[in-house]
């Protein structure tokens, strides 16, 4: 139990560290790195990660929710072009970070979803 709490705290710290990237709120939030992209729906319940190239490297996204949980999704077909979608039921997505590679690799700055973008 302590190990799980420590791991969750470490993952949340990784999401909190870098400065926020720009995001557009009209159609949700989006970050594109050329090798991969991530989109969050305007209602903040659905997130999609896409691998945009067939380069042998997977793309993943780590995201945090309003219930203070962190989750990771990897594009469904590994290192080939494709996308994977996940959703929340009660909580809302509050931040996300796009990574190249299944476990390690380069990453984009965290994107924070602000309340000011809500209608």
Confidence band (pLDDT; 50, 70, 90) for 104?
Answer: low
Supply the pLDDT for residue 56. Answer: 81
Residues 6-38: tens digit of each pLDDT: 445 544 454 545 444 444 456 899 999 988 999
Supply the pLDDT for residue 79. Answer: 67
> In three state form, how does the secondary structure of the chain look?
CHHHHHHHHHHHHHHHCCCCCCCCCECEEEEECCCEEEEECCCCCEEEEEECCCCCCCEEEEEEECCCCEEEEECCCCCCCEEEEEECCCCCEEEEEEEECCCCCCECCCEECCHHHCC
Is domain 2-113 classified as CATH 2.60.40?
yes
Supply the pLDDT for residue 78. Answer: 67
């Amino acid at each position: 139990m302590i190990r799980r709490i420590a791991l969750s705290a470490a993952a949340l710290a990784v999401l909190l560290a870098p400065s926020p990237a720009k995001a557009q709120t009209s159609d949700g939030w989006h970050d594109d790195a050329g090798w991969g992209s991530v989109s969050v729906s305007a209602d903040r319940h659905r997130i999609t990660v896409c691998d945009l190239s067939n380069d042998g490297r997977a793309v993943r996204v780590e995201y945090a929710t309003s219930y203070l949980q962190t989750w990771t999704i990897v594009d469904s077909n590994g290192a080939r072009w494709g996308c994977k979608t996940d959703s929340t039921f009660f909580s809302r997505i509050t931040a996300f970070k796009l990574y190249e590679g299944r476990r390690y690799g380069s990453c984009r700055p965290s994107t924070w979803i602000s309340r000011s973008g809500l209608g």
